[in-house]
Amino acid sequence: MKQQGKKILSSLVVLIVLALVFEPLVRVNAATVKDQFSVSEGVTYTDIRLSDGSTKQAVRVLGVYLPNQYTHIDVGVPIALNALERTTSQARRNSTQGHSVVGAINASFFHLGTAMNLVSKDNKLIHAGEIFPGSDKYVNQPIAFGVNSSGKGIIDYYNIDMTYTHNGNTYDITSTNKLRYENETILYTSDFTSSYTDTNQYGREIVVTLPTKPTYEFGTTVTGQVSKVRAKGDTSKTAIPENGFVISGIGEGMEDLENIKEGDSISLSINVDSKWKESQFMLASGPLLVKDGKVSMTMDPNSPNARTRAPRTAVAISKSGDRVYYITVDGRQSGYSTGMSLREFANYLVDLGVDRALNLDGGGSTTMAVRYPGNQFATLANSPSDGYERAVSTTLLAISTAPPSTFTDVRYDFWAYDEIETLVGNGTISGYPDKTFRPNNAITRSQAAILLANQLNLDMSNVTNPGFKDVKTTDKYYKYIAAAENAGLLTGKGNGYFKQNDKLTRAEMAVLLQKAFEIPMADKGYYPDVKTTHWGYDYVNALAANNLATGFPDGTYRPDVSVTRAQFTAFLYRATEE
């Protein structure tokens, strides 16, 4: 089985450069790319299938380019800290006007509905989590993924320091908002779902209140007054105040609390090491899989959980930290995707070209949501091993703040997006009632007249009838056609006919633009298929000489081919800008 996995992971790799990503995103076997597209500006999606004939894998990669002004990532948490919610539900709930979640994956491990590991947001601690002893455990070292104060993706070790001070003596706090075990001191805040600590009577608890609700920001200290003490043996429930916190200790932790009484002052301090200060968020997990572009596991690869082939989820970054990758591998589905061991997964991530990678919760929780073209919300993209999407604790979100497209069929990555949006904005062109632009439809002569009249602000109040046999004064576009003809931009097509529904050719477009904007004529030809004998020769070359005309990859102009709505819009925009 190991040899099969090695064969899959050592497949020949090639570079795929996705739209609007200015350096290689991921390296994959080109023959196995099932689907790829730009999800939003700065976010790309790739669906990869691997096979060695006997073992198949389904891999999905969501790439996020952080320097993009409309793109960022965030950590998602359920409505309540110790509740669970599906990844797609969290994505949808966090989508608002101008803040669209376009992709998401399940993130940290959870237990009894609560995130097991550290979560912070906006430099404020939400949950301290815990680290588990033993190299056979997933999270056995303090390692987190996040976005630092410089806006870079980071995967690195962290050091959280939580203490409380009473009468000049300072004591350590073990963790926050979790079950209390022997010799621990747990801090309970209003982020805890329950209104009570729900601890047993064998420990001691102190309730601390403040004038206002505290925020647990790294590098700060909050001070309050003890309003209640629950002694050992007391079976009453301890309520967590909205404007305060509870410190709960058992064993050694209880001993530290022995001398505290009602009315005493308690100071709470929370800090983190400098590389994580002012971070946008932190999310701890494990094990580390890749470091400096090489396999570097912080978990025993031969332990049962590591060597089992299963669905996997990871987050990875580029060396610069500018690019973040959400990666899933489906598993436990024979004939579709077997899943990977952690070492196989780490090897594959190295093949993808990432610099660092951190394992996230996997198995039946492995989930990727993506906003497919034309959809408003991100939907399930992978195939969970349970046959349905599990509810999870935390998620990682990819967010677009780009302004929505005016038309459903002209996305931000369409080659003429900016030109179309600009001319629509100034009233030159419009779309159809169904909110489409139909960019690849051929433009007609009457539509060209409308665009020219609008863009040039031609006078349509006192037009002279050109006398075209097929254009009545009662026709919908009569004034536009007459205004364009009166300005010397459009003429008939012989025998007194205008042919308003005929498709405009690329040569006719060149004539219109040259006349409308008085573009200087050229002194040479630019295209082999536009002969000197062609009636549009001078006009086509005028556009080419002034960098307004674009030919086809084979070097031709194709003067008698019809112009699309997008092409004419783009040419008109360029001519106006000149």
pLDDT tens, residue by residue, 82-111: 678 999 999 999 999 889 999 999 998 887
> Looking at residue 407, what is its pLDDT?
86
The mean pLDDT value for 338-346 works out to 96
Q: Using CA atoms, how far apart are residues 199 and 29, in angstroms rounded to an integer?
A: 53
In terms of residues, how long is the chain? 578
Q: For every residue of 254-322, which 3-state class applies, written as one string? A: HHHHCCCCCCCEEEEEEEECHHHCCCCEEEECCCEEEECCEECCCCCCCCHHHHCCECEEEEEECCCCC
Pick the more confident residue, 396 or 13.
396
The mean pLDDT value for 408-430 works out to 86
> Looking at residue 166, what is its pLDDT?
96
Q: Give the 3-state secondary structure of residue 222.
A: strand
Residue 418 has pLDDT above 90, yes or no: no
Which two structure tokens, joined as six digits, stand for 266? 């308690």
Asked if residues 329 and 57 have their Cβ atoms less than 8 Å apart, the reply is yes
* Strand bridging mode 185-188 / 175-176: parallel
Which residues contact residue 487 at a Cβ distance below 8 angstroms, ignoring those fewer than 6 apart?
452, 456, 458, 516
Q: Using CA atoms, how far apart are residues 444 and 429, in angstroms rounded to an integer?
A: 13
Q: Using CA atoms, how far apart are residues 353 and 14, in angstroms rounded to an integer?
A: 11
Biggest alpha carbon distance in the chain? 107
> Looking at residue 576, what is its pLDDT?
80
Residue 138 has pLDDT above 90, yes or no: yes
CA 22 to chain centre: 17
Q: Using CA atoms, how far apart are residues 241 and 362, in angstroms rounded to an integer?
A: 35
Residue 237 has pLDDT above 60, yes or no: yes
> Looking at residue 78, what is its pLDDT?
81
The mean pLDDT value for 303-311 works out to 96
Residue 18 has pLDDT above 90, yes or no: no
The mean pLDDT value for 157-166 works out to 95
Residue 96: DSSP 8-state: B
Confidence at 1, pLDDT banded by 50, 70, 90? very low
> Looking at residue 112, what is its pLDDT?
66
> Looking at residue 223, what is its pLDDT?
96
Which two structure tokens, joined as six digits, stand for 219? 């590098």
Helix (H) or strand (E) holding 73: strand 71-76
Residue 343 has pLDDT above 60, yes or no: yes
Quote the mean pLDDT of the chain. Answer: 89
> Looking at residue 113, what is its pLDDT?
65
Q: pLDDT > 70: what percent of the chain? A: 94
Task: Pinpoint the alpha helices (H) of 505-564.
Answer: 506-517, 537-545
> Looking at residue 402, what is its pLDDT?
85
> Looking at residue 108, what is its pLDDT?
85
> Looking at residue 54, what is its pLDDT?
79
Which residues contact residue 183 at a Cβ distance below 8 angstroms, ignoring those fewer than 6 apart?
250, 251, 252, 253
520, HSE (Cβ side, Cα atoms, 13 Å): 7
The amino acid at 555: G
Name the one residue in this structure whose structure tokens are 């309520």.
Answer: 239
Residue 193 has pLDDT above 80, yes or no: no
Pick the more confident residue, 81 or 290.
290
Residue 268 has pLDDT above 60, yes or no: yes
The per-type count for the chain, helices as H runs and strands as E runs, is 11, 32
Q: Using CA atoms, how far apart are residues 163 and 120, in angstroms rounded to an integer?
A: 17
Count CB-CB contacts under 10 A for residue 309. Answer: 22
> Looking at residue 301, what is its pLDDT?
96
Which two structure tokens, joined as six digits, stand for 438? 């139909």
Q: Using CA atoms, how far apart are residues 96 and 89, in angstroms rounded to an integer?
A: 13
Residue 20 has pLDDT above 50, yes or no: no
Asked if residues 155 and 358 have their Cβ atoms less than 8 Å apart, the reply is yes
Confidence at 331, pLDDT banded by 50, 70, 90? very high
Confidence at 190, pLDDT banded by 50, 70, 90? confident
Task: Give how far Cα 26 sits from Cα of 344, 351, 382, 396, Å.
Answer: 17, 9, 19, 19
Q: Tell me: the pLDDT tens digits for 471-482?
A: 999 998 999 999
Which residues contact residue 36 at a Cβ distance below 8 angstroms, ignoring those fewer than 6 apart?
16, 18, 44, 45, 46, 47
